[in-house]
């Protein structure tokens, strides 16, 4: 949960923050403001569940701030702090979801009781809301799913007749000759479903649609469908375009207030006929995909293509083999920081990186012989923090799921395959970097593991192999010294003689004579 502390005295704000063990109340983010005006901006941006508010402040006092909360429909619970027992203060608190009213100076245990009371109320209201939603949702679920499947089939087909579209629109109560359509893409959906809807995504979707219904039913005929991750709203109305635009804004504001859900919207600002529906939906989807994931910045330095993960497959695999979760998380964090250095990154670009990392994950799963874990990144995440958290979680879950005893056998077999390759290609040019490229290891990792397995370096092993071959050829063939050097993998005769003497104590010619 999020907490907002509003007081014009810094020592009071800090005192409240430092005096309470917030973890026991599951409060993990604390915001601060020194007046009502500043606090209102924080409420609009962060939507805190709980507010602790002083009443006597400059610019905008507590009474006016609480009145604004009520007018805008924010559901945050409020604990009022005041040096005065005044009726209009108490009334303002009660009207704005007030939980308790504490007179300064107050005791910490009294504040803790008020916080616990607020947390209990928040939990109870969430449970009641979930129960009500669940009951209504089950009644509407079957019919709505049938319509969504039918809609998806229609808009995904390349050739669909006007008659089919007309029939569908008429079935959902929309005039096929004059209607508007608006597309919405929820942003922080997964976190909200997990936290407030007991992981029931269908119930959450129903809740979103229910809010849309309340806001657009006065405009005329309407229908709400889901397609992929998009919420599609049809409105058959004689209202002006400006009225529809106002309703779009109200929907997004209401989602944010009641569900704490932020969203992108795409609106093809023309009335439609059935034949234009597919084109309009395509245009709206493009509008949304080109939105900036950093929604606080409208334009700025755009990102260029970042091939961040492409050249890191080997080191990622090695970190997995070494159970190095910290390195994997640091790698994800580095990518997040690099992307965050730009002022404009579109949803489309973030999806490009999602596809890139998913292809990498699939390749890694095949290399580690993962039978029971194949999770990939969701395509429609549009917040960088959520994206990086999800990838970190995938890496953590992957490490937990791997059968390392079986993987170790596979790993040893891979190093043995490297040795076999050296045996078969000793006459050719063999380098550490070349072997690393062939067997999908980094040079450092391959060198380390080869030495652990065979007690010598790759180059020493190769040299010893070539010297043994030279021994055999010198002793059992009539080949010239030059030919022996070449057959043993040495291109330069002088270098061959030097290496041979270093390892045997005599020259190749002397060895043959003896």
pLDDT tens, residue order, the chain (514 aa): 889 999 888 888 888 888 888 888 888 889 999 888 999 989 888 888 899 988 888 888 888 888 888 888 788 888 888 776 655 556 555 655 677 778 877 888 888 988 998 898 888 887 777 676 665 555 566 567 777 888 888 877 777 788 888 888 898 888 888 889 999 998 888 878 887 777 777 778 888 888 888 888 888 888 888 888 898 999 888 788 888 889 899 999 988 888 888 889 999 888 888 788 888 999 999 999 998 988 655 455 565 555 677 677 777 887 887 788 898 999 999 989 888 888 888 898 898 889 888 888 888 887 776 666 788 898 888 889 889 999 999 999 888 887 665 555 556 667 878 888 898 888 888 999 888 888 777 788 888 888 888 889 999 999 989 998 898 898 888 899 999 999 999 988 999 999 988 888 888 888 887 7
Measured from the Cβ of residue 411, the count of other Cβ atoms closer than 10 Å reads 15
Helix (H, G, I), strand (E, B) or coil at 300: coil
What top-level class would CATH report for the domain 2-106?
alpha beta
Q: Where in the chain is the domain with CATH 3.30.70.270?
A: 141-289
pLDDT of residue 184: 93
**165 vs 152: CA distance, rounded Å:** 12
Helices (H), 157-257: 162-171, 189-196, 201-216, 241-254
pLDDT of residue 393: 92
Looking at domain 141-289, its CATH architecture is 2-Layer Sandwich (3.30)
pLDDT of residue 271: 81
pLDDT of residue 332: 92
**189 vs 197: CA distance, rounded Å:** 10
Angular region, 489: left φ>0, alpha ψ -120 to 50, beta rest: left
Which pTM value belongs to this model? 0.57
- Under a CB-based contact definition with an 8 Å cutoff, are residues 278 and 367 in contact? no
pLDDT of residue 329: 93
pLDDT of residue 287: 92
pLDDT of residue 485: 92
**7 vs 55: CA distance, rounded Å:** 8
pLDDT of residue 200: 77
Closest alpha carbon to 413 in 442, 444, 449: 449
**189 vs 261: CA distance, rounded Å:** 7
Q: Where in the chain is the domain with CATH 3.40.50.2300?
A: 2-106
**297 vs 289: CA distance, rounded Å:** 16
**249 vs 244: CA distance, rounded Å:** 9
What top-level class would CATH report for the domain 406-513?
mainly alpha
Pairing of strands 221-227, 180-186: unpaired
Cα 113 to chain centroid, rounded: 37
């Amino acid at each position: 949960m999020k907490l907002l502390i509003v007081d014009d005295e810094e020592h009071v704000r800090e005192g409240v923050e430092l005096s309470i063990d917030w973890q026991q109340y599951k409060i993990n983010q604390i915001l601060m403001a020194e007046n009502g005006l500043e606090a209102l901006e924080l409420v609009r941006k962060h939507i805190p569940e709980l507010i602790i508010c002083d009443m006597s402040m400059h610019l905008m006092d507590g009474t006016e701030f609480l009145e604004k909360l009520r007018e805008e429909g924010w559901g945050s619970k409020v604990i009022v702090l005041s040096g005065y027992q005044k009726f209009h203060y108490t009334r303002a608190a009660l009207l704005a979801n007030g939980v308790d009213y504490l007179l300064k100076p107050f005791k910490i245990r009294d504040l803790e009781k008020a916080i616990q009371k607020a947390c209990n109320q928040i939990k109870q209201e969430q449970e009641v809301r979930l129960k009500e939603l669940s009951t209504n949702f089950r009644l509407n679920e079957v019919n709505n799913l049938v319509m969504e499947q039918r809609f998806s089939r229609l808009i995904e087909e390349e050739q669909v007749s006007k008659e089919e579209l007309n029939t569908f629109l008429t079935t959902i109560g929309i005039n096929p000759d004059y209607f508007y359509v608006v597309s919405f893409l929820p942003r922080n959906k997964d976190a909200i479903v997990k936290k407030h809807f007991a992981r029931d995504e269908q119930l959450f979707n129903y809740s979103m649609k229910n809010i849309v219904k309340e806001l657009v039913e006065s405009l005329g005929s309407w229908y709400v469908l889901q397609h992929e991750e998009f919420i599609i709203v049809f409105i058959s109305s004689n209202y002006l375009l400006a009225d529809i635009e106002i309703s779009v804004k109200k929907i997004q504001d209401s989602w944010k207030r009641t569900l704490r859900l932020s969203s992108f919207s795409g609106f093809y600002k023309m009335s439609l006929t059935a034949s234009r529906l597919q084109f309009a939906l395509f245009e709206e989807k493009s509008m949304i995909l080109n939105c900036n994931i950093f929604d606080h910045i409208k334009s700025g330095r755009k990102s260029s293509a970042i091939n961040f993960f492409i050249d890191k497959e080997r080191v990622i695999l090695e970190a997995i083999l070494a159970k190095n979760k910290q390195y994997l998380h640091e790698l994800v964090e580095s990518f997040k920081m690099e992307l965050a250095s730009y002022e404009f990154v579109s949803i489309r670009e973030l999806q490009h990186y999602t596809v890139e990392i998913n292809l990498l994950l699939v390749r890694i799963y095949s290399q580690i012989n993962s039978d029971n874990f194949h999770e990939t990144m969701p395509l429609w995440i549009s917040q960088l923090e959520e994206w990086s958290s999800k990838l970190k979680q995938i890496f953590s879950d992957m490490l937990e799921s791997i059968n390392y005893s079986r993987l170790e056998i596979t790993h040893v077999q891979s190093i043995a395959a490297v040795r076999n390759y050296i045996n078969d290609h000793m006459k050719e040019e063999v380098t550490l970097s070349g072997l690393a490229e062939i067997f999908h290891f980094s040079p450092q990792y391959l060198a380390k593991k080869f030495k652990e397995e065979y007690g010598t370096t790759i180059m020493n092993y190769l040299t010893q192999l070539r010297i043994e071959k030279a021994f055999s050829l010198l002793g059992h063939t009539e080949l010239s010294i030059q030919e022996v050097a070449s057959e043993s993998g040495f291109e330069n005769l002088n270098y061959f003689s030097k290496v041979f003497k270093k390892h045997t104590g005599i020259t190749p010619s002397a060895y043959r004579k003896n």
